[in-house]
């Protein structure tokens, strides 16, 4: 008889069987994880502290940085813990949480990137009505809607995935649990719920991509009609970071989820999974920091104030 079971541990893919390489891997990803958290946290603090950045664009950017922190925290800490403890198992509830929160934060980020493209569209194509259209209430509603869609798809995907039966191999062909991997190791012949969820998910992502594309077609059409080259370059610079972030996110997401899942764990598949999971949260702070003068000015202002504060405290302590 085949042993059908649901509530069981799963085995995640390992980079290497060598304990020394696992330790190196663990400390390497710990460093990457801390750098990603620090970069996104700095952006959140800068936007919260600097009143010049209290605009709709930076309100969305602050939420994007928070989502990036959450998204990388879904998978990488488990990888670090497994590497440092020389194990590869994940519990059934842990696997469910990875699927739920991975879809939750991923869908929320897709929605937020769509809202950010609409913000850039209004700012460039309808600048005179920007403050009236993109008021604080509208921005909060857009962010709330992105979280709502994320939670809805997260519940549908996780429920559909773990309502299946599992028998035989429990080796997940990735270093984290996601829907394609769960379907690969499931022995259920019918999975109507997850198929319906995938269809709705693809339709939603397609609508978001079309909305972003339409926004940028209108933006480029408006920018090309600007007579001064300086005005064109300024408009392009305000859109370039978001466009780079969108491209990075969708390219890595398509690579991760559209690539066929192998029958057995492979090193190339491991590296692709790591690349797709780690790159967007790590790259987003760098993109917005290097290509955004206001972010760099805010960082310089804070460092300047801290330097003067330390100098002032040093003077007081010496006088006392």
User: Sorting pLDDT into bands at 50, 70 and 90, what band is 311?
Assistant: very low
The token pair that represents 63 in the structure block = 């939420």
For residue 244, is it within any domain?
yes
Q: What sign has the CA pseudo-torsion 120, 124, 125, 129?
A: positive
For residue 3, is it within any domain?
no
For residue 2, is it within any domain?
no
Q: How far apart are CA 143 and CA 15, in angstroms?
A: 37
**What mean pLDDT comes out for the span 19-36?**
87
Domain that holds residue 284: 10-319
Is 172 within 8 Å of 193 (Cβ atoms)? no
User: Sorting pLDDT into bands at 50, 70 and 90, what band is 7?
Assistant: low
Quote the pLDDT of residue 317. Answer: 43
For residue 5, is it within any domain?
no
Does 1 have pLDDT greater than 50? no
Quote the pLDDT of residue 229. Answer: 64
**What mean pLDDT comes out for the span 289-306?**
68
Quote the pLDDT of residue 274. Answer: 76
Provide, rounded to the nearest whole percent, the portion of the chain with pLDDT above 70.
Answer: 83
Q: For the chain, what is the mean pLDDT?
A: 81
pTM of the model: 0.85
Report the CATH number at residue 239: 1.20.1070.10
For residue 129, is it within any domain?
yes
Quote the pLDDT of residue 320. Answer: 44
Least confident range from 146-160, 199-213, 245-259: namely 245-259
**What mean pLDDT comes out for the span 146-166?**
86
**What mean pLDDT comes out for the span 204-228?**
88
Q: What sign has the CA pseudo-torsion 191, 194, 196, 202?
A: negative
Quote the pLDDT of residue 287. Answer: 81
**What mean pLDDT comes out for the span 307-317?**
46
What is the domain count for the chain? 1
For residue 260, is it within any domain?
yes
Place of tokens 């429990």: 170
């Amino acid at each position: 008889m085949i042993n059908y079971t649901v509530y069981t541990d799963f085995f995640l893919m390992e980079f290497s069987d060598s304990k020394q390489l696992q330790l190196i891997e663990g400390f390497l990803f710990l460093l990457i994880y801390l750098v990603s958290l620090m970069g996104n946290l700095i952006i959140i603090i800068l936007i919260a502290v600097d009143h010049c950045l209290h605009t709709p664009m930076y309100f969305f950017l602050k939420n994007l940085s928070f989502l990036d922190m959450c998204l990388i925290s879904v998978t990488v800490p488990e990888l670090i813990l497994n590497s440092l403890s020389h194990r590869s198992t994940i519990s059934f509830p842990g696997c469910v949480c990875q699927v739920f929160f991975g879809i939750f934060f991923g869908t929320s980020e897709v929605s937020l990137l769509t809202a950010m493209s609409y913000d850039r569209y209004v700012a460039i194509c309808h600048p005179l009505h920007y403050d009236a259209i993109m008021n604080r209430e509208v921005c909060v509603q857009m962010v709330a809607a992105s979280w709502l869609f994320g939670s809805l798809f997260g519940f549908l995907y996780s429920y559909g995935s773990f309502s299946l039966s599992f028998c035989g191999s429990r080796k997940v062909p990735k270093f984290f649990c996601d829907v394609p991997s769960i379907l690969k190791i499931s022995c259920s012949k019918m999975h109507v719920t997850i198929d319906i969820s995938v269809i709705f998910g693809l339709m939603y992502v397609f609508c978001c991509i079309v909305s972003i594309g339409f926004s940028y077609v209108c933006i480029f059409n408006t920018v090309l009609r600007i007579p001064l080259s300086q005005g064109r370059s300024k408009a392009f610079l305000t859109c370039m970071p978001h466009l780079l972030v969108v491209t990075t996110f969708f390219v890595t997401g398509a690579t991760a989820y559209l690539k066929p899942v192998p029958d057995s764990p492979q090193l190339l598949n491991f590296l692709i999974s790591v690349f797709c999971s780690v790159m967007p949260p790590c790259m987003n702070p760098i993109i917005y920091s290097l290509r955004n003068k206001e972010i760099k000015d805010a960082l310089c202002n804070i460092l300047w104030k801290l330097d003067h504060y330390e100098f002032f405290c040093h003077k007081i302590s010496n006088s006392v």
